[in-house]
Amino acid sequence: MNMLSTRLAGRAASIHPELKAPAFSQAYLRRRTFASLSLAFSAPQGRRTYYLGRIYARGLSSSSTTTTPPSLSLSSSSVENKDPKNPNHSIYISTSTDPYFNLTYEDWLFRNHPASQPLLFIYRDAPCVVIGRNQNPWKEVNFAALHARPEVKYVRRRSGGGTVYHDLGNTNFSIHLPRSSFDRHVTAQVALRAVCALGIEARVNDRNDICVGPNKVSGSAYKIVNTRAYHHGTMLIATQLETLGDLLRTEKETMITKGVASVRSPVCNLQQFSTSLTHEAFADAVVTEFCKEYGIDETVCTVHDTADVRRIEYIRKGIEELLSWEWAYGQTPEFTYTIGQSFAWGDITADIRSKHGIILECKLQLTNTRINGDASGAVIALARSFEGQRYGFPQDDAYALSDVGPAVDVRTWLQAAMS
């Protein structure tokens, strides 16, 4: 390490002790990872800010040498029998396709891996729809299409962002870093260089998505806590795009939610541009670019979904949480939904308000009706019986006020509208 880099690294360590060696390798300090890292300290003249990455980059001469780790092949001896119950490795690749396991294992790594060290996790999931932490599933997911495909799971992940579809034609990558050096633009470049290394001309758009031409091939989400952050993203290699479209196509303009809405974008698969491209080839390319970016010289830890791993208390409880109604639906932000319907006996409008997956209000307005007062009262009472119930999970016994007539029509309509 030259004199300038030594002085700057020392100054960084004096201000942020978590950056002391050996937290970062020489190659790691040379990279642009620090491009967004600002280190501020008080001086007699006032508060000054040093942008370590930019100063350091200018200080390196063209003759400076860097240590670049060799390209890693997932089919080579670089994959060793490392213990997946040890969160201290740098690179993990899961062989499991269980989305509940993979998302929980990712979160376990995030919480237990040394905060000062970079980490890469790669995995694939069996078919599933995955919504963001702060999203409304009834706004994002076509549940009628989902229920018609019982093999497709529904999951709420722990990070923000929009709704995505996973299957074995999609590869997920997750890059974890210290919060102080986290830069989503840099991590996006790691994935971008992996795609380009496979002979496909791609770019990163202003939303930090990876695109080929006008179409998106990778979307991203992020999670940031006190000392750590991660960027995880999808990579569409050979996913079932028709299924993706069916499951994520909803038309509920009158549903107003306080949650995060997905941004719809046209998508395509990488195999459209390279028919022989595989999950293994992309994973290999991401590992190589990750090692180059962060100065990692370490073999891959292969993660199998075994009883030993599932016995880790955090993982066991995490999987249980993802499967629970309280997490999957009960975390839904407050929303309102106004809908209308015409029947042979009159017109009706429903105003529904729900929070944390519970129906708080269900008010009906009847117009142009040709029913008597008793029937109208039964319809109004039916609407009130929805209140306090779980949205999207009708309990017929609670609404069985009548087996015929307008109340049954309204019950059937509301149950379908809330699915």
Q: Considering the domain boundaries, does residue 294 fall inside one?
A: yes
| Residue 59 pLDDT | 28
Q: From CA 230, how far away is CA 179, in angstroms rounded?
A: 8
243 phi and psi, to 5 degrees? -65, -45
**Is the same domain home to 379 and 251?**
no
**Is the same domain home to 20 and 102?**
no
**Is the same domain home to 127 and 150?**
yes
Token pair of 111 as six digits: 């919480």
Q: From CA 386, how far away is CA 390, in angstroms rounded?
A: 8
**Is the same domain home to 271 and 172?**
yes
> What confidence tens digit (pLDDT) does each residue in 74-125 have?
543 445 579 999 999 999 999 999 999 999 999 999 999 999 999 999 999 9
Chosen domain end from 328, 347, 372 = 328
Q: Considering the domain boundaries, does residue 73 fall inside one?
A: no
CATH code of the domain covering residue 339: 3.30.390.50
> What confidence tens digit (pLDDT) does each residue in 3-24 have?
434 433 443 444 333 333 334 4
**Is the same domain home to 120 and 54?**
no
Does pLDDT of 256 surpass 80?
Answer: yes
Check residues 378 and 169 and name the one with the higher pLDDT.
169
Total structural domains within the chain: 3
Pairing of strands 46-51, 79-80: unpaired
List Cα–Cα distances, 352 to 136, 337, 390, 400, in angstroms. Answer: 14, 5, 12, 20
Strands of the sheet with 346-355, listed across from one edge: 255-257, 335-343, 346-355, 358-367
Which string of DSSP letters, residue by residue, matches 157-219? Answer: -SS-S--EEE-TTEEEEEEEEEGGG--HHHHHHHHHHHHHHTT---EE-TTS-EEETTEEEE-
**Is the same domain home to 134 and 281?**
yes
Q: From CA 149, how far away is CA 130, in angstroms rounded?
A: 15
Q: Considering the domain boundaries, does residue 74 fall inside one?
A: no
Is the backbone peptide bond immediately before 22 cis, with ω within 30 degrees of 0?
yes
Q: Considering the domain boundaries, does residue 68 fall inside one?
A: no
Q: Considering the domain boundaries, does residue 65 fall inside one?
A: no
Longest Cα pair distance anywhere in the chain, in angstroms?
Answer: 91
Q: From CA 340, how far away is CA 350, in angstroms rounded?
A: 6
**Is the same domain home to 192 and 229?**
yes
Q: From CA 401, how far away is CA 293, in angstroms rounded?
A: 65
> What confidence tens digit (pLDDT) does each residue in 293-345 have?
999 999 999 999 999 999 999 999 999 999 999 999 999 999 999 999 999 99
**Is the same domain home to 278 and 306?**
yes
Helix/strand/coil percentages in the chain, nearest 5: 35, 25, 40
* Domain extent at residue 404: 335-417
- Which alpha helices (DSSP H) does 50-119 contain, by range? 52-59, 99-112
Q: Considering the domain boundaries, does residue 71 fall inside one?
A: no
Q: Considering the domain boundaries, does residue 70 fall inside one?
A: no
**Is the same domain home to 218 and 293?**
yes
**Is the same domain home to 155 and 224?**
yes
Pairing of strands 128-131, 153-156: parallel
Does pLDDT of 195 surpass 80?
Answer: yes
User: Model confidence at 374, in pLDDT bands (50, 70, 90)?
Assistant: confident
**Is the same domain home to 285 and 345?**
no
Q: Are 311 and 317 in contact (CB under 8 A)?
A: no
**Is the same domain home to 49 and 120?**
no
